[in-house]
Structures are given as structure tokens and as C-alpha cells.
Structure 1
């Protein structure tokens, strides 16, 4: 009987068995608060493992948690490992992007979902005509800056992988779902456990 090569892959990464920080649910201010509390309680030496299950949420909260991870690495030199479980969608992928591809893992059956940032807005034009162009320019600047932030995030997600930025840009408008094995095969994560 041939042994399934996937069966023992988890034994190669014993640190992933008990993550120091375990997050699930909507990426929002409450998750960020739980993240900060668990990070403060984590061991002060050695690698830190963060697990995440989310259907998405606020991309700025994902970026904020990611910045904390990056700063921890930059200032302490500690290794940080990411373990995506079941679903890592939207703002969760934004957070995952803060981890280098060689420190990202997914559990079997997990899906990533990458998409463009969303905006729902209306513009109220009311007042003297000479003030209205400024209202429209302000909204245009908001959109342009959001696109820049989105592109920065996309570049971080694919940095070090075999996925070209242009492919992600092309697939993101229609919600790109990526199964764990494809994410591993394309270099978006190191391995599937």
C-alpha cells in the first residue's frame, strides 16, 4: 500500500499545530483588538504562528494587522508564520500578504479569494457651481488613491510567487478563488498541511 504523500506533510511543520494567535470571523476593529491581545500574550522569543479563517471584512484592518507583523519582524528579527484555515477571503488575503510566501501555509481544502476593493458611494452636488468641481475632484482622488493601495496589496500578495501581478489584476474584478493546492503550486504559499 502506497502512503499518501500529503498525510505526513504536517509533521514537517510542528509549529503550525498550535498557533499563538488564532483569528476567525470578520476582519474588523474587534478582530484587530483580539489580534493585539493575543500578540501581547505570545511568547517573546522564537517564531510566532498566526492562523486565520475569514470571509473578509475591512481591508484597512487587514493592512493594520499586517503592519504589526512586518514591524515585529523588522525590529526583532523574529520569524512569523501564517496558517490559513478553511477560507482566507478578501481582507484576510490582504493580511496574508504581510507574510513572505515562504512563511505562508494553508490547510487542505482552504480557499483564497482575491478581488478588487469595493466602493459604494454617492455624490451629492449642492451649492454654488464654482464649488462643485472640487467635490467631484475629491471623489476622483479617493478612487485613484484606493486603486494605488489595491495595487500595492496585489503586488505584496504575489511577490515571490509564480503569479504575475497582471494575472491577479485581470482576475480580481470577478473574484478569483484559488484552492490550497493551486496556491501552493503557484507559489502563493509554501505548503498545504
Structure 2
């Protein structure tokens, strides 16, 4: 059993001493930083392929956000790895885990998530910027409007799935995320630990 699988409740002590409990986190196998986009995904795939073939995989990220679908894609890669190989995947958030970074974090179980001290998570609603031009026969205009409405409705369902995954196993009700996300919800590392959103802060 590796260190992060221990279920001991984090104690009220220094971040330095807590870090000693999780030596695996000192050298992440995959280190991601910057905008979550297809370039990050390519980097993620390259580092994942170079990781050891056995044992837990530690993924560290620092990001101000980006494409939530790329974040979901990276999360799915790790879910499949867990299910096909039964290997542990551990999340380490550093400095900023904003927007799509929180979406990526949601793909890890809460007891496999860690933050460095001073790190902040930011959760918000998806943002849509789109101009709709109405032109053509009336029925086709209606169909076009309905297509855009369906896109928005589907995006909301995906967003809510992500929110539920983020707080599953924590002390945070899904309804709290719904209420606070529109105004950009910032969560400090220690608060995230106290809410059960991550296992510990190092």
C-alpha cells in the first residue's frame, strides 16, 4: 500500500511535516502548467507515456484555466488507466487550480487529491460568447435558434456533471456549488482540506 492510500485524518500540524507523509508527491511523473489546451494535452500524453510502467502516477498542475473539454479528456485518459491497470493516480495542485484545472481535478477521487500550501481553487460556470445571425426562411431560423438552445442546455448538463464529480465524497453539497459558481468561487487550500475536497495540504 502506498502512502497516499492511507486514510488517516490529516492532523493540525505544519505543512512541512505533512509533506513527509507523502514522499511520492515530491517528484510528480507528469507536470503541467499554463493554459489547458491541446498543447497541454500533447505534453500530458508525452509525459504519461514516459512514466514508470508500475506503481502510482502523480500528476501535478498549475493553471489559470482553459478548455474544459481538454481537461475532461485528460481526466478520461487517467480514468481508463485506473480501470484497465488498477494503478493509483494522484493529483497535486500547485499555486492555482482555476476553472478547467478544477474540472481536471474532479476526475480524481477526493482521497487522491492534494494541494500545496497557498494554492487556491477557483470554480465558475462555463462561459459562452456567441453571436447569432438570423437569416433565411422562418422555419430554418427557428431550427437554428433551437440548435443553439440545445447546445447551451447540453453544456449546462456537462457542467453540472463536472460539479457533482468535483464535490463527490466531500462535505460540499452540489447545491452550494451551483449557488457560488456564477460569482467565481475561490477556495483556499486549507479550506479545501477542511471541506473534504482534497485529502491534505503539503
For normalisation by structure 1, the TM-score amounts to 0.97
Deviation at 1:130, TM superposition (A): 1.9
Q: Which segments of 5 or more consecutive residues in structure 2 lack a partner in the other structure?
A: 1-12
Counterparts of residues 14-163 of structure 1 (less than 5 Å): 14-163=23-172
2:16 and 2:46 map into 1 onto residues whose CA distance is 34
SS of residue paired to 1:187:
coil
- The total of aligned residue pairs comes to 191
Deviation at 1:6, TM superposition (A): 3.0
SS of residue paired to 1:49:
strand
Deviations 1:5-47 (A, max 9, x none): 3331000000000000000000000000000000000000000
Counterparts of residues 158-169 of structure 1 (less than 5 Å): 158-169=167-178
2:98 and 2:118 map into 1 onto residues whose CA distance is 14
Deviations 1:80-100 (A, max 9, x none): 000000000000010011100
1:88 and 1:137 map into 2 onto residues whose CA distance is 35
1:129 and 1:112 map into 2 onto residues whose CA distance is 46
Deviations 1:41-96 (A, max 9, x none): 00000000000000000000000000001000011000000000000000001001
Deviation at 1:128, TM superposition (A): 1.1
1:29 and 1:5 map into 2 onto residues whose CA distance is 37
Deviation at 1:129, TM superposition (A): 1.3
Deviation at 1:166, TM superposition (A): 0.2
Runs of 4 or more above 3 Å deviation: none
Instruction: Tell me how large the CA RMSD over aligned residues is.
Output: 1.0
Which of 143, 149, 170 aligns to 2:179? It is 170
